[in-house]
Structure 1
C-alpha cells in the first residue's frame, strides 16, 4: 500500500533492512488459498442477507516473456484483448453497505476451466464457508443459463446483465430481442428461454443502453420489485469496478517482477489483503478515502525536499514581470 512505484523484493529489502533473498523465499515458500482471504474478510462483514457480485479484471503485463499465468484476455480499459493475467473475484456487500472480496481465482489454462466454471466453484465454496447472500449479480459474461440456474437453485435472488440480442418472450410462442422491447421504468415481466419468468430492466451507462434480468426466489415479490430495488442492486454491482480500480492504483496488484506461479499468486493475495486492510480503516473511520490517504503518505516527504532544495535557487525564478493572480 505504501510503495508509490513498484512493490518488488529489492524495494522491500531496502525499506525493511532485510535481505532480498528472504523476501523472495517468502514468496516461494507460502501457499495462501482463497479461504485465507475469506477468513480475513468475514471478521468485518455481516455474512447474511447481502449481495454477492462476480466479475473479472485483466492485470496488464504487456512486456512479460516467461511469466506464469500470462495470456491474452479482454480488457475493458483497452477495449481489446491484451497480454496479462485474469483475476476473477466474488465481491460481497453486506446489509450495512460494507464491501470486501470473499473469494478469487487467477485464470490458469492448466485448470481446463472457463470463467463460468470458476464462478460456480467459488459460489459453492463461499456458501460452504457460511456466506448467506440474498442476491447474486454479474455482467453479461456470467449470465449463461447454467449460471442463472445455479444461483436460482440456491434459493437466491439474482440480477445479471444480458446482451442486447438476448431473446425473451412477452407473449407465449413469440421470441424477441431485449433491445427491441419497450421497457418501462419499473421493469417488464418476460419469460427467459429454458429458465422461467424474470423482470427486465433497462438503464443507460456510459452513453450505452444496458439490459438486466432480475429473478426473485419468491414470485409474489415481483409486484413490489421496482426501479428503486433495481438501482440499489445495480449500485452494489458497480462497486466491484471501484474495487478493481483501487486494487490496481493503490494496492499495486499489477506491479510485481516475479515470474513463477507460486510467487505471483502470493503477491496477488497480498494485494487483496491490502485492500481488506484499507477497507477496515475506512469502516472504522481511520481514513475517508484511500487515494487521498496514499497521497498524504508522501506529502511531508515532498514538502521537506522542496523547502530544503529552494535556498540558493532564487536566480532560477522568472525575472520578467510580477506574477498576477488572474
Structure 2
C-alpha cells in the first residue's frame, strides 16, 4: 500500500469508493460518484491513479474475521466481461464459464478460504497480466506461497481441473496439506500395477475408489454429476490410514466448500460492481478491483455479525423508501385515472 508523505487532502477515499460500488445500481463510474457525493470528477480519478493497493492489503482486511488454522483453501478464476473495451490494459481473451466460450475481458484469479466455523473470504488474488509472462498455474503457486508465509494454515486445498497439473498437486502435498482437485475425464489412473485406464471408464462406487494417479501417487477417486455432466475429483490425504474413513459425506462437505467460490464470483459482479468501470490504465483498474473485493469482505463482515441476513436482499432494500416516496408523490392529483364507480340502473 502507498505510504503517504503528508496528510491526505483528497476528498475521494477508499471507504467512499467502496460504499459507492456496493450501492450504485447501474452506473459505477467516476462521473456518477462525483455527482452523488458532490465532489470533482478529478478527485475520483486521482484516487484511482494515486493509490497502490496490494493483495496483502486484502489479506489484512480478511484475516481479522477468520480462523486462519484448519480451514479449506480454494483456487479458481473468473472472467470479468469487457466486450466493448478499446485500448484497455489487462484485457485479453479468456474462457468464460458464463458464456461457455472465449470472451473479451480480464481474468481474476482468487484464493478463497473457508475457516472451520464456516466463514469464507478471499485471501489473495491476481489479475492476469500477459506482460508478466506467467500462466495461471504460476500465479496459483505464487499466491499459495504468499498466504502460507502470511500465516494461513489450511488443512485442505481444492480447485478445478485447470489447476490439477502434477506440479501443483506435488506442491500442495509437500506443504502437508490434503487436497481435492477436479480432473479431466481422460486423466489416467491405475487400479492394478502395470495397467492404466481413463477415469471416465471406471465404475466408481459412491464412497470413492483408491487409485494410483499417474506421475503423482495414491489418491481416492470420486465421481459426481453436476449440470448433466459427470465430473471426477481426486482426493489426497496426508495420512494414508485416513482414506478408509473418508466417505461420500466427507467428499460432499469438501465439494460444497469448493463451490462457495462460485457464489463469491456472482456477488462481486452483481453486488460489488467489479466489472463496471471505465478507466483504461493498469493502476486504476487494479485499484478498482481491490475496492470491489474489499467491499465484498465488508459485506461478509455484516453477515457474520448479523447486521444483514443476505447481501442481495440488503441491496434490494436500499431503494425501497426512495421508490415508495416517489410512487406516493406521483399519485397525487391523478385520481381521475382510477376507475370511477357508477351505480347500476335498472331499466
Can you list the C-alpha shifts for 1:90-134, whole angstroms capped at 9, x where unaligned? Answer: 000000000000000000001100000000000000000000000
CA distance in 1, matches of 2:186, 2:24: 45
1:219 aligns with 2:233: no
Cα distance per residue 1:178-213 (max 9 Å; x no partner): 111000010000000110000000111111111000
Hey, what's the Cα distance between the residues in 2 that align with 1:272 and 1:318? 51
- Work out the CA distance in 2 between the residues paired with 1:33 and 1:24: 19
- Per-residue Cα deviation, 1:150-174 (whole angstroms, up to 9, x for no partner): 1001000000001111110001111
Deviation per residue, 1:217-269 (Å, 9 max, x gap): 11111010111110111000000000000000000000011001000000000
Q: Determine whether 1:88 maps to 2:109.
A: yes
User: What is the aligned length?
Assistant: 321
Aligned-partner SS, 1:282: helix
Per the TM alignment, residue 29 of structure 1 is displaced from its structure 2 partner at its CA by: 0.4
Please tell me whether Structure 1 or Structure 2 has the larger radius of gyration of its CA atoms: 2
Instruction: Tell me the secondary structure at the aligned position of residue 84 of structure 2.
Output: coil
Q: In the alignment, which residue of structure 2 is the partner of 1:241?
A: 262
In 2: Cα distance, 1:96 partner to 1:176 partner: 39
- 3-state DSSP class of the match of 2:243? helix
How do residues 165-314 of structure 1 correspond to structure 2 at under 5 angstroms?
165-314=186-335
Q: Which residue of 1 aligns with 2:6?
A: none
Provide the C-alpha distance between the structure 2 equivalents of 1:6 and 1:132, rounded to a whole number of angstroms. 40
Assess, with a 3 A threshold, how the Cα gap between structure 1 residues 247 and 318 changes in structure 2: closer, same or farther.
farther
Kindly indicate whether residue 43 of structure 2 is the aligned counterpart of residue 22 of structure 1.
yes
1:315/1:224 CA distance change after superposition, 3 Å: same
What displacement does 1:314 show? Answer: 3.8
Matched, 1:115 2:120: no
Query: Do the aligned partners of 1:187 and 1:227 also contact (CA within 8 Å) in 2?
Result: yes
**8 Å CA contact 1:6, 1:252 repeated in 2:** no
SS in structure 2 of the partner of residue 223 of structure 1: coil
CA contact (8 A) 1:186 1:226 kept: yes
Q: Which residue of 2 aligns with 1:324?
A: none
Q: Tell me, yes or no, if structure 1 residue 79 matches structure 2 residue 100.
A: yes
Normalised TM-score (structure 1): 0.97
> Partner of 2:73 in structure 1?
52
What is the alpha-carbon distance in structure 2 between the residues aligned to residue 9 and residue 102 of structure 1?
Answer: 27
Query: What is the CA-CA distance between 1:10 and the residue it aligns to?
Result: 1.2
Q: 1:170 to 1:17 in 2, by over 3 A?
A: same
- 1:65 & 1:118 partners in 2: Cα distance? 26
Is residue 135 from structure 1 mapped to residue 156 from structure 2 by the alignment?
yes
Q: What are structure 1's unaligned runs of at least 5 residues?
A: 322-326
Kindly indicate whether the alpha-carbon contact (under 8 Å) linking 1:55 and 1:90 is maintained by their aligned counterparts in 2. Answer: yes
Matching residue within 98, 104, 111 for 2:125: 104
